[in-house]
Structure 1
Amino acid sequence: MNTRNDRLADLLRRFLDNNCTRQELLELLEMIEQFPDSENLRHVMREQWHAISDAEGIPHAHAKLENLLRASRTATKERGAERTEKRSETTGERWWKQRPARRFAAAAAIALILVSITYLFFKPDTSIPKQALSAYNSQNDIAPGSERAILTLADGTAISLNSKRIGTLAQQGSMQIIKLDSGQLAYYPAGDDEGQGEIAYNTLTTPRGGQFKVTLPDGTKVWLNAASTLRYPAAFTGKERKVSLTGEAYFEVASQPLSSGGAEGGKERMPFIVLVNGMEIEVLGTHFNVMAYEDENTIQTTLLEGSVSVIPTAALSGRVSGEAKLLRPGQQARLTNPEKAGSRGANEIRIIGDIDTRQIIAWKEGYFQFDHTDLPTVMRRLARWYDVEVVYEDIDSIPNQYFGGRVPRNLPLSKLLSVLQQNEVRFRIRGRQLIILK
C-alpha cells in the first residue's frame, strides 16, 4: 500500500468535496509541491476527478472547481505569510533569497491541477462550461483551422484543395490524382503502364490554419499538420522511396517489396526515407511522427510502431562523424534545429525514452495536448493552427508559465483562450493578432 498516494487521494477527495480544513488545504499544497512522481500525481488526480464528475455530473464539478481555485489562492498566500513569520525559527531570511520561486510553486501547481483536471481528464464528449466560453466577444473571434491545402504539380500548376470538388484532379505520368469523398487526396494507377520516364514531383502544402491527409502512390498515409510542406514523386521507382518534409506530419508507411518481380513474401523491402532539415529518417513499414518546423528549437522524430533509423544529414555528407541510431516504439530522436544552432551546426541526435505518444499525435486526433509546456511553445502551436500573429505586450514581464491539458482543436480561438486564461495569463484578440498582456 502506498501511504503517500492514499493520503494525497484522501486530501484531493476532501478538497473536491469542499470539506478541507485550512490545515488540510495547506498540507495538500505542500504535498503537490513536493510530490516526486508527476505521472503518479496525475493518476491520483484523474481518479478523484472521475469520482466526483461521475457521481455529481460535470456542471456541478466545474462549479466546485471555480470556488476551490479562489480558496486555494487565499490559502497559498496564508501559507507564504506563515513561512515568513517562522523564518527566524528555521533558516531565517536566507531561505527566501536562495529559493524565491518556491513561494509561488504551490499556487502555480494548484492552478495547473484545477485546469488540468477540468480540461485534461474530462470525458471527450463533455462540453466546456458556458461561463468559461463567454470570456470574449464572439465578433472579435478567430475560427479554428480546417482541411485546407494546395497541391502543386510537376509543371507548376497549383490546385486548391479547399473546395468541395470530388473526383479526378489531374494525372501525373501513370498516376491519377483523386480527391476522395472523405476529402483526402489519393494516387491511383491510371492504367497498366507504370511509366519509367522522368520522375514527376508533387508538392502538398498546408497553410497556417490548415491540415490535410494524403495517400501516396505506394499506399503510405500521411497526415500533414498546419504550415507544412511535403514533396514526393507521383510514382515511386528504383530502390527507395524518398520524400522531403518541412513542418509536421504523421506517417503510416506501407511496406513495399523492393522489386515487383521478386518472390512473394520476400524479405527485401523498399526503404521509405524522409528528409528534413538536418536529419534523415529511414523506415521500411511503420508509424511515426516528424516535427521539423523552422521556428522550433529541435527536430523531433517519434516512433509509435515498428522501427526507424535516424542520422544527421551532416554525417551522410561526411562533414562530421556520426552513425545512424535506431528507435524503438515510445522513443523520440531529437536534433537541435540547424536554423537555431548557429555556426556550430547541429550534428548530435539524442534519443529520449518513455515518450507519451498520445501527446505527440494529439494534433492528428483533433486536440491540443500540453504537459508542462511553456507559454512560447503553446503560442507557436496556436499561431500555426489559428493563423495569427502572437504579440507580447511586454515580453520581459511574461511569467514562466507552464500548461497542462487536452483541448479540442475545433474551438474558436476565444474559447480556447478562456481555458488558458485560468492559468493567470491574460490575452486579447485584435484582428489577426493574439496579444499576451503584461
Structure 2
Amino acid sequence: MNIEDFKKLLHRYNAGKCTEAEKTLLESWYSEFEFQKLPELTNDQLAEILSIQTALPQRKIKSLIPWISSAAAVLLLCLSVGGYFLWHKHYLPQAAEKYTYNVPPGSDKAILTLANGKKMVLSANQVGKLAEQGGVAVDRTADGKVLYTASEKQDPTVAMLYNTLSTPRGGQYSLVLADGTKVWLNAASSIKYPVAFNGDERKVEITGEAYFEVVHNAAKPFRIVAGNQVIEDLGTQFNVNSYVDEPLTKVTLIAGSVKISGNKENIILKPGQQSQFPSQPTSQGFRITDNADVAEAVAWKNGLFKFHKASLQTVMRQLSRWYNVNVNYEGKIPDVEFSGEITRNVNMSEVLDILSYLKVHFKMKQNNQDTTITVTE
C-alpha cells in the first residue's frame, strides 16, 4: 500500500463510504500501534493522515503530534519505501475464492504415546479419563489440557514410565505434568516426560517449541533437554524454541530465572532476556539479548503470529508448521521484511493476501491432501 492508496482509503472513510472491515482496519492502525520514522512526507500528505483523528472520536487514538517534527508516517506506509508491512488481526479481508485451496488454520490436536506404546489421537472435543498408568490418572480437562494426577496407591516404579505428547504440523496442545508444571506445545513439537517425578530431579525432553510454567522445587530441579542444551528452572516462566529447521535455539525468560548449559558453557537468564544458541553443533557459544521482545516470543501461545523485521523464510517456516503446508522456492528468494501481527485463527488465504500486497509471488498445488506453496520471483 503506497501513500496514494492510503489517502484514497482516508477519503472513503471521511465520506462515509468505508465498509466495516475498512473502518476497523483504519481505527486499529491508530489505536494499537506505534509509529516509525520514514522519509519526508509533504504537508498535504501529513494533513491527510492527521485528518482521521477528528473522524474517530469513539476510539482512543494515539496522537501523531509528537512525530510531526520528524515527518513520521504510519507503520503501514513503510511498504512503499522500506519493505515492511503491518499484519494485524483485523486485516481487511480479500476474496478468498481466488485461491484454489483455502487452507484452514491449525487447531488443538496431538498424539499421546503411553508407556506401553499405545498411541491415542487427541482432539479438541475429548473430555474425561484417557488412561491410568502405575496409579497415575491421565485425564483431558474441559479447558483442553492433558492432566496427570497421582493417587495414594501410586506404583513406586511409575517414574520409570515415560509418555510422549506430540503435535503434528497444524496442531497445538497443552498439558499439566504430575508435579503441576504447565506446558504448551506449538505445532510440530513434542515433549517426553515421566508419568511421575519420584527421583531427585524432574527431567523432560522437547523438540520444536514449548512454553513452560514450572512449579518450582529447589530440592528437585526441573530440567529440559532441548537439542544440544539443557535448561534448568530456578522458579520461572519461559519459552523454548528449538525447531531443527531454525538456525538458533532460543530461550526467552518471562519470569523467574533459568540456568542454561551447552557446549561446556553455563549462563543464567534474567526476566526479559533471551539466549540464542546455534541449533547445529558448533564451537560458537551463547548470545544473550537484553530487553528481548517477549511478546513476539510467546505470541503463538496467545494465538498470534508476531514478527519484527522477519525475513520471508522466517515467516514461511511458521506458516508451514501452523497450516501444515510445504514451502518451496523457485529462483531468488524475495528480499523483504515483515513487522506486525495477525491472529492465527484465519484461513491461509488471508495470509496469502498480505504476502501478495508485498509483491511476493507464489503458486499453490495440492496432491493427496498435501498442499505446497511455491514462492517464485
TM score, norm. by length of structure 1: 0.67
Where does structure 2 lack aligned partners over 5 or more consecutive residues? Answer: 1-5, 12-35, 41-48, 60-72
1:371 alignment counterpart: 308
Counterparts in 2 of 1:54 and 1:274: CA distance versus 1, 3 Å: farther
**CA deviation digits over 1:357-409, x for unaligned, max 9?**
00110000001001000011111110001111102122x2x321100110011
CA change 1:169–1:31 in 2 (3 A) is: closer
Contact 1:311-1:349 within 8 A present in 2 as well: no
Aligned pairs (5 A) from 1:288-367: 288-312=238-262, 314-315=263-264, 322=265, 324-338=266-280, 341=281, 345-367=282-304
Deviation at 1:155, TM superposition (A): 0.9
The gaps in structure 1 that reach 5 residues or longer are: 1-12, 19-29, 35-46, 58-67, 73-104, 257-267, 316-321
Q: 2:362 matched to 1:427?
A: yes
Please say if residues 274 and 288 of structure 2, whose CA atoms lie closer than 8 Å, have aligned partners that are also in contact: yes
Relative to the length of structure 2, the TM-score reads: 0.78
- The alignment yields a C-alpha RMSD, in angstroms, of 3.0
> 1:384 & 1:277 partners in 2: Cα distance?
19
The structure-2 alpha-carbon separation of the partners of 1:420 and 1:179, relative to structure 1 and needing over 3 Å to count, comes to same
In the alignment, the residues of structure 1 paired with residue 99 and residue 38 of structure 2 have an alpha-carbon distance, to the nearest angstrom, of 37
Answering whether residue 91 of structure 2 is matched by residue 128 of structure 1, we say yes
Is 1:403 the equivalent of 2:338? yes
Query: What is the identity, as a one-letter code, of the residue corresponding to 1:297?
Result: P
Paired letter, 1:387:
N
User: How far did residue 50 of structure 1 move?
Assistant: 8.9
> Take 1:245 and 1:346, find their aligned partners in 2: how far apart are those partners?
23
Give matches, 1:5-20, under 5 Å. Answer: none
Paired residue for 1:193, among 125, 128, 153? Answer: 153
Q: 1:53 to 1:372 in 2, by over 3 A?
A: farther
**Could you say what secondary structure the match of 2:310 adopts?**
strand
Percent of aligned pairs with the same residue?
36
Q: Which residue does the alignment assign to 2:64?
A: none
Deviations 1:75-105 (A, max 9, x none): xxxxxxxxxxxxxxxxxxxxxxxxxxxxxx9
1:52 shift after superposition: 7.1
Deviations 1:249-271 (A, max 9, x none): 00000123xxxxxxxxxxx4421
Q: Residue 255 of structure 1 corresponds to which residue in structure 2?
A: 216
1: CA distance, partners of 2:144 / 2:80: 46
User: 1:417 is aligned with what amino acid?
Assistant: L
Deviation, structure 1 residue 434: 1.1
Q: Identify the match of residue 285 of structure 1 among 219, 232, 235.
A: 235
Q: Which residue of 2 aligns with 1:165?
A: 126
Do the aligned residues in 2 keep the contact of 1:336 with 1:346 (CA within 8 Å)?
no
Distance 2:141 2:313 in 1: 37
Q: For 2:100 and 2:187, how far apart are their aligned partners in 1?
A: 24
Q: Which amino acid aligns with 1:309?
A: K
Q: Determine helix, strand or coil for the equivalent of 1:254.
A: coil
**C-alpha separation in 2, matches of 1:168 and 1:309:** 36
1:32 to 19, 27, 38: 38
Matched, 1:418 2:360: no
Q: Secondary structure at the match of 1:165?
A: coil
Question: What amino acid does structure 1 have at the position aligned with 2:184?
Answer: W
Match of 1:204 in 2: 165
Corresponding residue for residue 197 of structure 2:
236
Inter-CA distance 53–411: structure 2 relative to 1 (3 Å threshold):
farther
2:250/2:274 contact within 8 Å kept? yes
Q: 1:391 to 1:56 in 2, by over 3 A?
A: farther
In the alignment of these two chains, the number of paired residues is 321
Conserved 8 A contact 2:100-2:364: no
Matched, 1:389 2:339: no
CA distance in 1, matches of 2:207, 2:312: 23
Contact 1:32 1:106 in 2 (8 A): no
> Does the CA contact (< 8 Å) of 1:206 and 1:227 recur in 2?
yes
- Are 2:375 and 1:436 equivalent residues in the alignment? yes
Query: Where do 1:60-75 residues align within 5 Å?
Result: none
Rounded to whole Å, the distance in 2 between the matches of 1:215 and 1:172 is: 15
In structure 1, the residue corresponding to 2:139 is in which secondary structure? Answer: strand
Question: If each structure's strand is expressed as a fraction of its own residues, which one has the higher value?
Answer: 2
Q: Distance in 2 between matches of 1:405 and 1:385?
A: 18
Over 3 Å counting, the alpha-carbon distance change for 1:290 and 1:223 in structure 2 is: same
> Which residue does the alignment assign to 2:187?
226
User: 1:239 deviation in Å?
Assistant: 1.5
Q: What secondary structure sits across from 1:378 in the alignment?
A: helix
The one-letter code sitting in structure 2 at the alignment partner of 1:435 is: T
| Mapped contact 1:337–1:346 kept (Cα < 8 A) | no
The CA deviation at 1:174 is 2.2
Shift of residue 421, structure 1, vs aligned partner: 2.0
Query: In the aligned structure 2, how far is the partner of 1:386 from the partner of 1:325?
Result: 35
Distance 1:192 1:128, change over 3 A: same
Q: Which residue of 2 aligns with 1:77?
A: none
